Amino acid sequence: MREITQADYLRFLSAHDHVTIGNAKIKLQGHWKIKEYGPPEEYEPERTTVWSFPDRGRWATHRGNYRGNWSPYIPRNLILKFTEEGDTVLDQMMGSGTTLVESKLLNRNAIGVDINPEAAMLTRDRLNFSGFDKAEIKTFEGDARTLDKIEEESIDLIATHPPYGNIITYTKSREINGDLSRLPFKEYLIGMKRVAEESFRVLKKGKHCAILMGDGRKYKHYVPIAYPVMKIFLDAGFILKEDIIKIQWNMKTTREKWQSKNYDFYLIGHEHIFIFRKPESDNEYRKYKFSRPELWL
Ligand SMILES: C[S@@+](CC[C@H](N)C(=O)[O-])C[C@H]1O[C@@H](n2cnc3c(N)ncnc32)[C@H](O)[C@@H]1O
């Protein structure tokens, strides 16, 4: 891991007015003036295991123009439910920094990591607004499989959205070694095993780790990615707290258009947010055997 500091970002900004992520050029703003600091007033935190955010969320510096970014409603819900002010949130695949921006707005310390140094610059740009100075936010270029600068049992919440393994490539124009989205499925799963083990190592006992995962389709048949990854996290020692279905809105075509077309398969319109918990002890791990059906056989 290599820290990308505010000074590194300012140096980068003096020579660049954009970052290139895949094929997309994303403008760097410099310093942001913010109009809205959170979701519309009438919004209430989620209470069920089905989440749907058709308006996706554009408050603060969220712009939704990083391929595969998650809606800020997701980290906001997770941070509010599972942390207190002053806690530390980790997103080890931070992309454009949605989780870190929400952490800053909600006075949580945060650590962000991404394999792509340009993502770290973009995140620092999105964090470059004043008025919220309580949180300490650190950003790193690094690999989620080896979080060597993060101490064990130092994190209060992990909230991250990994790539789905050969479905969307984030670093098309420039090969980035270690980008999980470029790996064939088997290597991807091996990589996710290391991500799960590192997540388990850095998380404090009793605390939560949330990941957003989707599935794929090949030869017109469903390719489950989310459940194999869930199993990998359970094997790493986590217990399952929630399996939330997240409705997908931000697709190339709208859901209405899908319905008018004549496919002989259903278009995938959901993802899973798995919320795992690191058990307090071996005893507690055994108590939650019911979330591991294979252990009953
Ligand atoms: C789905 S995107 C995350 C988007 C982010 N939640 C946001 O809202 O912008 C997945 C990210 O994982 C990063 N990534 C891929 N392999 C990685 C690895 N081995 N370690 C750390 N980051 C990685 C990609 O560069 C990409 O930014």
pLDDT tens, position by position, 7-66: 999 999 999 999 999 889 999 999 999 999 999 999 999 999 999 999 989 999 999 899
Sorting pLDDT into bands at 50, 70 and 90, what band is 292? confident
Q: Report how far residue 292's alpha carbon sits from residue 280's, in angstroms, rounded to the nearest whole number.
A: 17
Distance from the alpha carbon of residue 293 to the mean position of ligand 1, in angstroms:
31
Whether 295 is covered by a domain: the verdict is no
Portion of the chain with pLDDT greater than 70, in percent? 92
Burial class (CB in 10 A: 0-12, 13-18, 19+), 15: exposed
Distance from the alpha carbon of residue 121 to the mean position of ligand 1, in angstroms:
13
Whether 223 is covered by a domain: the verdict is yes
The pLDDT value given to residue 251: 62
Whether 293 is covered by a domain: the verdict is no
Q: Which of 78, 100, 180 to mutate to test the pocket of ligand 1 (most atoms within 8 A of CB)?
A: 180
The mean of the pLDDT values for the chain is 92
In this predicted structure, the answer to whether residue 204 has a pLDDT above a threshold of 70 is yes
Q: Report how far residue 110's alpha carbon sits from residue 130's, in angstroms, rounded to the nearest whole number.
A: 16
Whether 194 is covered by a domain: the verdict is yes
Whether 296 is covered by a domain: the verdict is no
Whether 71 is covered by a domain: the verdict is yes
Query: Which residues contact residue 65 at a Cβ distance below 8 angstroms, ignoring those fewer than 6 apart?
Result: 24, 26, 96
Query: Which atom of ligand 1 lies closest to the CA of 72?
Result: 8
Q: Which two tokens stand for residue 278?
A: 């690191």
Q: Alpha helices of the chain — where are they, by DSSP H? A: 6-15, 73-82, 98-105, 117-126, 185-202, 226-235, 255-260, 282-287
Q: Are 231 and 224 in contact (CB under 8 A)?
A: no
In this predicted structure, the answer to whether residue 254 has a pLDDT above a threshold of 50 is no
Q: What is the pTM of this model?
A: 0.94
Task: Report how many helices (DSSP H) and strands (DSSP E) the chain contains, helices first.
Answer: 8, 13
- Work out the average pLDDT over 107-111: 98
In this predicted structure, the answer to whether residue 261 has a pLDDT above a threshold of 70 is no
Q: Which two tokens stand for residue 233?
A: 């996290």
Sorting pLDDT into bands at 50, 70 and 90, what band is 125? very high
Q: Which of 179, 213, 229, 273 to mutate to test the pocket of ligand 1 (most atoms within 8 A of CB)?
A: 179
Residue range 77-91, pLDDT digits in tens: 999 999 999 999 999
Query: Which atom of ligand 1 lies closest to the CA of 91?
Result: 6
Q: Residues with Cβ within 6 A of ligand 1?
A: 66, 68-70, 92-96, 98, 113-116, 119, 143-145, 161, 163, 170, 178-181
Whether 294 is covered by a domain: the verdict is no
Q: Report how far residue 80's alpha carbon sits from residue 99's, in angstroms, rounded to the nearest whole number.
A: 12
Element holding 274 (H helix, E strand): strand 270-277
| Number of folded domains that form the chain | 1
Give the range of the structural domain holding residue 187, as residue numbers without chain letter. Answer: 2-37+45-288
The DSSP call for residue 266 is: P
Lowest mean per-residue pLDDT among 54-63, 154-163, 165-174: 165-174
Q: Which of 23, 78, 93, 177 to mutate to test the pocket of ligand 1 (most atoms within 8 A of CB)?
A: 93
CATH number at residue 272: 3.40.50.150
**Sign for the pseudo-dihedral over CA of 62, 11, 113, 24:** positive
What's the distance, Cα to Cα, between the start and end of the chain in Å? 41
